[in-house]
Each structure stands twice: as C-alpha cells, then as structure tokens.
Structure 1
C-alpha cells in the first residue's frame, strides 16, 4: 500500500491512541511488523503546546518507520498551522482526527463530533491539504450515531479534497467501544471511493484480520487495542497474509526481552517518575494472559524505580521459564 509517495512495508497499521501510541510503543510495533504507526493525537491549539505532554508529542525524531502525526481540533486555520508545525518538526504524513469519541474532545467539536458537520469537515481538509506538502490522511468513524451513519458522505468529501488514505473504525461515535464493530459501512465506503481505505475495529488476531480484509475489500487493516500488550500481533498478521499459516506465539524468553526493551524505552523517553507509571500500564497489558490472578501486577504496580521494575520482570520470567 502507498500513501502519497510512501510505500508501506506492510498493510498492517498501529492506530493512534492517546496515552498509548507514544514514541517507544510506535518504535516497538514497527520493529514487530507494523507498516505504519500513527502518533498520539496532538492538539491543534498552540496554547497547550508548552505542557510537558504536548512537548513530548511534538518530538518526531528517531522514528522507526514513516512518521505519521495525528492532529485534532475544529478550527481549519488552527489545524493547518498545527500541521505545518509538525511537518517542520519531522512529520512525513499528517493524519486528521475525526474519530475520537471522548467527551472532552467532542465538546470542543473535535474528533468524531465533526462527522455531524460535513461543511466544516470539508473546510478543515482543504485548509490542511493546502498548507502542507506531505500526504494528509483522515481517520473517521462510520458516523455520529445509527441515524446519522454518514461515513460514505465524509469519505467522498475526503477523496474530493485531497485526502490520500482513509481509516474507518467500524463503530459510530455513540457506540464508543461497546458491542462489536460492523464492517458493512467500511465495505460500502471502499466501493464508493478510489483512495486507499483502512479497516479498523476489533481486529485481535491474524484470522480476524484476514476475514475483515476479505470482507471489506480494504487496502489495509489498523489495530488499536489488539496491540496493547501484544505488539507481535503485526508480525503474526503479516505472516498469515504472506503464507496462509498461523505463526507460533513468541516464547517466554522473547516476551521477556520485548517487555524489558519496552520498559527501558519508556524510562528513557519519559524519565524516572513518569516512566514508572507508563511502564505499569503497559506491563499490565502484557501480563493479562500470563498473570490472570494479577498477583505479579499487584507487586509490580508498587515499585517506584526503573531498576526495581526491571529486576522484578527478570525474576518473574526466570521463575516462569
């Protein structure tokens, strides 16, 4: 799959997730086979760029793959300015967020709330596409609610105004993450436009990825929650696409190596205080199947330093192996 002049190494992508798809996780997922890893959402409001959180999200150097940065907001000129700032900082692709269902985002008429305003959608896309020289992509949901499932209309607006690739989560905003994703709308969108369409929602295995790709006719699949604690899911899906065979799961030794590399990366990126806290979150996801009783997670979440966390992981896997 290509986005503008960029050829992706695979047609599996990591979805942008606030507080999750930071630089260490994006790098890890690209190493594990993701053809594209989209950044956390960056606010288009320059007033918040001086916070530590925003400063980190505006760092785009040392990326493992193609650097795709997602921006969010509702003012066309503000979004255009934010797009250019991020390009100046190293972004190679700009992604516009029109899919986030969070109330604090929607109340500012950003994220999936924009799906209710097709005219504004067009104004935003035009402003951003005209501002930057890099490809611009868009992430949406199927609509605001069941009665306003207007994904096809938004997709046509996107194509007509220069969007290079469209990712569609198979839920409306009102669905949040409840129930099951539906793929009929994604299939209909793919038939309605000629730009690449990426299917997103409830893809948690290689077999499910293949089924979704076959059913929708999409050009690629995007994985969000399915990659939390399982960054090797991209490798598994790529292998299945290439061979039709399921790949053996990673060994305990490899899982330990991946987790230690990830925890090291989080501490290096965030520093000791925040590194400890982000490591707790990611380790909790890794341990969901290894530690169903949550005994280790309880111990790990009480640790307060990188050294303690790494030593605890080493001891745990030594005992397990």
Structure 2
C-alpha cells in the first residue's frame, strides 16, 4: 500500500491513542509487524508556542519508520507551522485530526468540530499541503449525525486539496466508542475517492480486519484499543490475509515482550516516572491470563524496573 511516496510493508496502521501511543509503545507494535504507527494526537498550538512537553511528543527513531504524526488545531497558519515542525523532526506522514469529539478539543474549533466547517477544513488542508512535502492524511468520523454526509463532503474536499489518504472511523461525533461502527460508510467513501482509504472501528481480532477489508474494499485497516492488550494483532492480521493460521502467543513470548516494554519505558521516561506509568500500562498485556488479576494488583505500587521484571517472571 502507498500513501503518497510512502510504502507500507503491510496494510495495517496503529491508531493514534492519547496517552498511549508514545515512542516505547509504538516500537513494540512496529516490531510485531505493524505497517505504520501513529503518534498521540498533538496540539499544533502547543508546538507553535514552544511547549517542551508537546515538542517531546515528536520524538522518533529510525526503527519506527514510517511514523505518522497526528496534529489537531483550528487555525490554518498554526497548523501549517506545526506540520512543518513535525516533518522536520522525522514524521513520514502528517495526519490531521477531524474526528476527536472530546469537549475541550471541539470547543476550540478543532477535531470533529471541523466536520461542521468545510471551508475552514479546506483552508487548513490547503495550507498544510503547501507547507510540507511529506504525504498528508486525515482521520474523520461519520460527522455529527448518522447520515455520513459530512464525512463524504470532508473526504471529497481532502482529495481536492491534494491529501494523500484518509482514515474513516464510522461513528458519529456524539457516539464516542459506543454503539456499532457503520462499515457501510467506509464502503461509500471508498467508492467516491481515488486516494487510499483506511478503515477503522470495531476491529477486535484479525478476523474482523479481514471482514472489513472484504466488505468495504478499504486499502488498509487501523487498529486502536484492541492493540493495547494484544499488540500481536497486527501480525495475526497479516497471517489471516495470507490465509495462514494464527499462531497462539506463548507465555514466554508475552513475558519477553513485557520485559522489553518495561525497559523501554524506563529508559525513555526515567525509572520513577516510567514505573508510575507502568502501574496501569503493564496490566494491558495480562488481560485474559490465568494470574492476570493478581499481577495487576501486584503492580499497583510499582517502584523500580527490577521489581516490574521480577513480577512479570514470578506472578504470570
């Protein structure tokens, strides 16, 4: 699959997840075969104002190429400036968020609010497209009602303005993650456009990804929440696309990945900060395991990297 000049090794994409898809987690997913990883949603205003905390969210390494950096904002000039900064820091793809329906984002005119302002959306896409040579994509929802008409309008504007691809999460802005994703909207948008379309929503396992691609003819699938507890899902999807059986994840494989993740988080965040984050994050990988509940209880007061590794080896 191509997104502009970027070639994806596999038609799978890690969704941008706030507070989750930082550099250590993206590397875990990339090493397990994901075609393209995405950053957390990053404030364009924060980058332009020089926030060091926001700037740190652009951290990347060559191993995770191609990285998509997702930006949100409502001012065309600010978005263009932020996109240029992201590209200079190593983003292979610039993604613009048109789907976040969190109140504090929408009230600034960003995220899903842009789906109600097609002319502002067009201005943002035009200025960003002019500011960077890297491929540009967008992520949209159905819009503010279930008809999908707003999604189709924004998708057509995006193609007209030279956007290289888009991702469709076919839930309305007011649904959040509730209800069922309307995959028919992905089909509708795919038929209307010539640029690549990535499908997103209700992919819990590899068979769901296969069904979405067969039903909608989308070019790739994006996986978000399901990857938190099962980062192996990307490799499992690739095997299903090749009509190969899925290989169960062994306990030793799970432990090895968790230990590597602990070391990566502590190395990147520092041991103290990293362990505070791992108190919740390590629990993702233990869902469904025989001693998972005991493990999640044991890590609630995690203090050191060595303690985390010992618990992984002794409790699970």
Q: TM-score, normalised by structure 1?
A: 0.94
Q: Distance in 1 between matches of 2:297 and 2:253?
A: 23
> What is the distance in 1 between the residues matched to 2:68 and 2:314?
37
Counterpart of 2:258? 259
| Matched positions, count | 315
Once residues 49 and 105 of structure 1 are traced to their aligned partners in structure 2, the CA distance between those partners, rounded to angstroms, is 19
The whole-number CA distance in structure 1 between the counterparts of 2:20 and 2:134 is 25
Instruction: Tell which deviates more after alignment, 93-102 or 230-239.
Output: 93-102
* Residue equivalent to 1:315: 314
SS in 2 for 1:142: strand
CA deviation digits over 1:149-193, x for unaligned, max 9?
411111100000011010011211111001111101111000011
Superposition deviation, residue 62 in structure 1: 3.7
The Cα of 1:33 is off from its aligned counterpart by 1.1
Instruction: Give me the whole-angstrom Cα distance separating, in 1, the residues matched to 2:50 and 2:15.
Output: 22
Per the alignment, residue 294 of structure 2 pairs with 295
Q: Where does 1:44-59 land on structure 2 (aligned, <5 Å)?
A: 44-45=44-45, 46=47, 49-52=50-53, 54-59=54-59
Alignment partners' CA distance in 2, 1:279 and 1:49? 28
Note the residue ranges of structure 1 that are not aligned, 5 or more in a row.
none
- For the residues of structure 2 that align with 1:311 and 1:56, how far apart are their CA atoms? 30
CA RMSD of aligned residues (A): 1.5
Change (3 A) 1:226 1:218: same
Q: Which runs of 5+ in 2 are unaligned?
A: none
Inter-partner Cα distance in structure 1 for 2:124 and 2:290: 46
| 1:202 matches 2:202 | yes
Answer whether contact 2:283 2:295 (CA < 8 A) is retained.
no
1:270 corresponds in structure 2 to: 269
Q: Distance in 2 between matches of 1:83 and 1:47?
A: 10
Q: Distance in 1 between matches of 2:11 and 2:292?
A: 36
- Distance in 1, matches of 2:65 and 2:292, equals 37
Inter-partner Cα distance in structure 1 for 2:32 and 2:272:
27
CA pair 171-232 structure 1, distance change in 2 beyond 3 A: same
Paired residue secondary structure (1:101): coil
